[in-house]
């Protein structure tokens, strides 16, 4: 279930955001929400012509471009930003100039601006979590380095460990200074069972997915890059380069979890999911 009237309520929301005083010392007030809300935020589009990289053909995937959303969870005890998408530096530039990977990227709005539309600024975000350390998920991570970063060691190490790439280390210098809480296994973010970071290694060693239990929508698992295309799931295909990684076991774990919790799976990069999703400033609850 989603609200489609959010834009009209922005003024009201700004009032409520300012009125609450439950934040830890030194942080702006938390939103006064009685339950959990989940926002799907446009963080760019990746132009891709290569479904073969995922064990699929053009017939399996008629439109092989990728959506690249970010997600914001509003919880009575704080806010969690999951992934930060393509860098805002790509906004307004031609696809052919934005070539960090695949055939190019298209970015029409900034994450900062999308958050402002729902009355949220970076200092209000309690926790930052990244599905993994690849460029299309960490693009704006520096802007949220004031949050507590719920990090897994393999992903921290690939960005900032002794063998980290110098360019990555330099590009994300602010994130390197973030307050870090190192997490392992499945992590209960707010301590009430409503939001879990699920360990799902394979695509990257420290890859994770996000579970959110919503009152009206029910349980949702946001895949991260556990899958890229819906056809991988329906046709049972694993990207060739991930067949010998943890991906098959992580997929089995998540599929079992979905069954056990009667949850739905959202594949963030899958356009067929993204096109039907309710986008920010509306939300799921």
Total Cβ atoms within 10 A of residue 259: 9
Report in angstroms the alpha-carbon separations of 278 from 69, 71, 94, 121. Answer: 12, 12, 27, 21
How many Å apart are CA 239 and CA 51, to the nearest integer?
A: 9
CB 34 within 8 A of CB 74: no
Task: Give the residue with the Cβ less far from Zn ion, 65 or 136.
Answer: 136
User: Among 139, 134, 156, which residue's Cα sits nearest to residue 224?
Assistant: 134
Task: Give the residue with the Cβ less far from Zn ion, 100 or 164.
Answer: 100
Task: Give the residue with the Cβ less far from Zn ion, 207 or 253.
Answer: 207
Give CA torsion, residues 80, 54, 276, 48, to 10 deg: 90
DSSP state of 224: G
Helix (H) or strand (E) holding 252: helix 247-261
Task: Give the residue with the Cβ less far from Zn ion, 136 or 155.
Answer: 136
Q: Least distance from C-beta 156 to Zn ion, angstroms? A: 18
Segment contacting Zn ion by CB under 5 A, of 6-14, 120-128, 159-167, 220-228? 220-228
User: Among 142, 174, 176, 140, which residue's Cα sits nearest to residue 158?
Assistant: 176
- In the region spanning residues 118 to 177, those forming contacts with Zn ion, defined by CB under 5 A, are 136
- In the region spanning residues 94 to 123, those forming contacts with Zn ion, defined by CB under 5 A, are none
Task: Give the residue with the Cβ less far from Zn ion, 150 or 222.
Answer: 222
Query: Is residue 232 at the binding interface for Zn ion, with CB under 5 A as the rule?
Result: no
Task: Give the residue with the Cβ less far from Zn ion, 60 or 225.
Answer: 225
Q: Least distance from C-beta 111 to Zn ion, angstroms? A: 15
User: Among 254, 251, 261, 249, which residue's Cα sits nearest to residue 198?
Assistant: 254
Q: Least distance from C-beta 61 to Zn ion, angstroms? A: 15
Q: Least distance from C-beta 51 to Zn ion, angstroms? A: 14
Q: Least distance from C-beta 165 to Zn ion, angstroms? A: 18
Q: Least distance from C-beta 199 to Zn ion, angstroms? A: 17
Task: Give the residue with the Cβ less far from Zn ion, 37 or 207.
Answer: 207
Query: Is residue 225 at the binding interface for Zn ion, with CB under 5 A as the rule?
Result: yes
How many Å apart are CA 122 and CA 127, to the nearest integer?
A: 10
Q: Least distance from C-beta 203 to Zn ion, angstroms? A: 8
Q: Which two tokens stand for residue 236?
A: 């049972």
Segment contacting Zn ion by CB under 5 A, of 89-97, 209-217, 223-231, 255-263? 223-231
Q: Which residues bind Zn ion (CB under 5 A)?
A: 136, 225
């Amino acid at each position: 279930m989603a609200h489609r009237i959010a834009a009209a309520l922005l003024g009201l929301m700004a009032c409520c955001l300012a009125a609450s005083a439950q934040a830890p010392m030194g942080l702006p007030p938390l939103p006064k929400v009685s339950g959990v809300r989940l926002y799907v935020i446009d963080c760019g589009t990746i132009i891709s012509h290569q479904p073969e990289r995922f064990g699929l053909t053009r017939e399996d995937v008629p439109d092989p471009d990728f959506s690249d959303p970010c997600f914001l969870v509003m919880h009575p005890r704080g806010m969690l930003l999951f992934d930060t998408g393509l860098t805002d530096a790509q906004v307004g530039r031609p696809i052919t100039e934005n070539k960090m990977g695949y055939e190019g990227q298209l970015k029409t709005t900034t994450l900062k601006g999308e958050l402002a539309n729902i009355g949220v600024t970076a200092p209000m975000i309690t926790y930052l979590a990244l599905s993994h350390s690849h460029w299309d998920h960490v693009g704006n991570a520096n802007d949220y380095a004031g949050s507590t970063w719920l990090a897994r060691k393999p992903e921290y190490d690939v960005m900032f460990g002794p063998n980290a790439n110098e360019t990555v280390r330099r590009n994300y210098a602010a994130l390197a200074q973030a307050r870090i809480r190192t997490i392992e296994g499945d992590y209960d973010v707010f301590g009430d069972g409503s939001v879990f970071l699920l360990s799902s290694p394979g695509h990257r060693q420290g890859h994770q997915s996000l579970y959110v239990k919503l009152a009206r929508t029910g349980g949702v698992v946001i895949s991260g890059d556990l899958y890229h295309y819906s056809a991988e799931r329906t046709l049972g295909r694993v990207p060739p380069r991930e067949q010998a990684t943890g991906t098959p076991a992580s997929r089995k774990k998540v599929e079992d979890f979905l069954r056990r919790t009667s949850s739905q799976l959202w594949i963030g990069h899958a356009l067929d999911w993204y096109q039907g999703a309710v986008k920010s400033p509306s939300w799921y609850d």
